[in-house]
Amino acid sequence: APDTLTSVTTAAAPMVTLHTTVAHGGAERMEMVSHLAVPAHGTAALTVGHNHLMLMNPVRRLTQRQRVTLALAFAHAGQVRLAVPVVGYSGSTGGDGARTAPDGMSGMPGMAMPTGR
Protein backbone atom coordinates (compact mmCIF):
# COMPACT_ATOMS: atom_id res chain seq x y z
CA ALA A 1 0.00 0.00 0.00
CA PRO A 2 1.20 3.56 -0.52
CA ASP A 3 2.42 5.45 2.53
CA THR A 4 3.47 8.98 3.45
CA LEU A 5 6.54 10.24 5.28
CA THR A 6 5.01 12.76 7.68
CA SER A 7 7.92 13.86 9.88
CA VAL A 8 11.55 13.27 10.74
CA THR A 9 13.31 13.80 14.07
CA THR A 10 16.86 13.35 15.30
CA ALA A 11 18.86 13.99 18.46
CA ALA A 12 21.41 15.74 16.19
CA ALA A 13 19.15 18.77 15.57
CA PRO A 14 16.09 20.37 17.16
CA MET A 15 14.31 20.59 13.80
CA VAL A 16 14.40 18.59 10.57
CA THR A 17 12.72 19.99 7.47
CA LEU A 18 11.78 18.20 4.25
CA HIS A 19 12.39 19.99 0.96
CA THR A 20 11.92 19.36 -2.72
CA THR A 21 13.73 21.08 -5.58
CA VAL A 22 11.65 22.61 -8.35
CA ALA A 23 12.54 24.36 -11.60
CA HIS A 24 11.34 27.95 -11.68
CA GLY A 25 12.22 30.57 -14.26
CA GLY A 26 15.23 28.69 -15.59
CA ALA A 27 16.71 28.07 -12.12
CA GLU A 28 16.15 25.50 -9.45
CA ARG A 29 14.93 26.43 -6.00
CA MET A 30 14.03 24.57 -2.86
CA GLU A 31 10.54 24.46 -1.42
CA MET A 32 9.72 23.11 2.01
CA VAL A 33 7.06 20.38 1.96
CA SER A 34 5.07 18.85 4.80
CA HIS A 35 5.19 15.24 3.63
CA LEU A 36 6.59 12.87 1.02
CA ALA A 37 4.50 10.26 -0.77
CA VAL A 38 5.92 6.74 -1.00
CA PRO A 39 4.25 4.70 -3.75
CA ALA A 40 3.10 1.13 -3.17
CA HIS A 41 5.90 -1.32 -4.08
CA GLY A 42 8.14 1.67 -4.83
CA THR A 43 10.62 4.04 -3.28
CA ALA A 44 10.95 7.71 -2.43
CA ALA A 45 14.60 8.74 -2.52
CA LEU A 46 16.12 11.56 -0.49
CA THR A 47 19.07 13.03 -2.40
CA VAL A 48 20.83 16.38 -2.72
CA GLY A 49 19.24 18.41 -5.49
CA HIS A 50 15.88 16.62 -5.28
CA ASN A 51 13.81 15.60 -2.25
CA HIS A 52 16.04 16.01 0.80
CA LEU A 53 16.12 16.62 4.54
CA MET A 54 17.78 19.56 6.24
CA LEU A 55 18.89 19.39 9.86
CA MET A 56 18.34 22.88 11.22
CA ASN A 57 20.63 24.28 13.95
CA PRO A 58 22.43 21.00 14.68
CA VAL A 59 23.49 20.52 18.30
CA ARG A 60 27.06 19.80 17.20
CA ARG A 61 29.10 20.38 14.05
CA LEU A 62 28.19 17.91 11.30
CA THR A 63 30.75 16.90 8.70
CA GLN A 64 30.40 15.14 5.37
CA ARG A 65 30.27 11.34 5.64
CA GLN A 66 29.42 11.49 9.35
CA ARG A 67 26.36 9.35 10.15
CA VAL A 68 23.33 10.56 12.10
CA THR A 69 20.38 8.53 13.32
CA LEU A 70 16.96 9.67 12.10
CA ALA A 71 13.47 8.64 13.20
CA LEU A 72 11.18 8.71 10.16
CA ALA A 73 7.44 8.77 10.92
CA PHE A 74 5.12 7.27 8.30
CA ALA A 75 1.33 7.58 8.22
CA HIS A 76 0.80 3.80 8.05
CA ALA A 77 4.11 2.06 8.79
CA GLY A 78 4.80 4.05 11.96
CA GLN A 79 8.32 4.98 12.97
CA VAL A 80 11.45 3.70 11.23
CA ARG A 81 14.91 4.49 12.63
CA LEU A 82 17.99 4.51 10.46
CA ALA A 83 21.50 5.94 10.31
CA VAL A 84 22.27 8.08 7.27
CA PRO A 85 25.40 9.89 6.04
CA VAL A 86 25.71 13.67 6.06
CA VAL A 87 26.15 14.63 2.39
CA GLY A 88 26.08 18.41 2.57
CA TYR A 89 26.84 21.12 5.06
CA SER A 90 26.15 24.83 4.73
CA GLY A 91 27.81 26.21 7.85
CA SER A 92 31.33 27.47 8.37
CA THR A 93 34.14 25.29 7.10
CA GLY A 94 36.58 23.51 9.33
CA GLY A 95 38.74 21.67 6.86
CA ASP A 96 36.15 19.09 5.85
CA GLY A 97 35.81 20.47 2.32
CA ALA A 98 32.29 21.80 2.82
CA ARG A 99 31.65 25.24 1.34
CA THR A 100 29.98 28.19 3.01
CA ALA A 101 27.47 30.42 1.25
CA PRO A 102 25.77 33.59 2.47
CA ASP A 103 22.36 32.20 1.55
CA GLY A 104 23.05 29.12 3.68
CA MET A 105 22.06 26.74 0.89
CA SER A 106 24.32 26.99 -2.15
CA GLY A 107 27.21 25.47 -0.20
CA MET A 108 25.54 22.11 -0.70
CA PRO A 109 26.81 20.12 -3.68
CA GLY A 110 24.36 20.14 -6.57
CA MET A 111 22.35 23.09 -5.31
CA ALA A 112 22.11 26.26 -7.40
CA MET A 113 20.04 28.50 -5.19
CA PRO A 114 18.92 32.02 -6.10
CA THR A 115 19.81 34.40 -3.28
CA GLY A 116 17.09 36.98 -3.94
CA ARG A 117 19.60 39.73 -3.17
Whether 108 is in a domain gets the answer: no
CA 18 to chain centre: 6
Whether 97 is in a domain gets the answer: no
Q: What is the pTM of this model?
A: 0.71
User: Contact 10/77 with Cβ under 8 angstroms?
Assistant: no
Structural domain that includes position 20: 3-86
Q: d(Cα 49, Cα 112) in Å, to the nearest integer?
A: 9
3 versus 108: which is more confidently predicted? 3
What three-state secondary structure class fits 111? Answer: coil
- What is the number of domains present in the chain? 1
Q: d(Cα 43, Cα 116) in Å, to the nearest integer?
A: 34
Range with the largest mean pLDDT of 20-29, 35-44, 94-103: 35-44
Query: To the nearest whole percent, how much of the chain has pLDDT over 90?
Result: 56
Q: d(Cα 91, Cα 63) in Å, to the nearest integer?
A: 10
- CATH number at 68 reads 2.60.40.1890
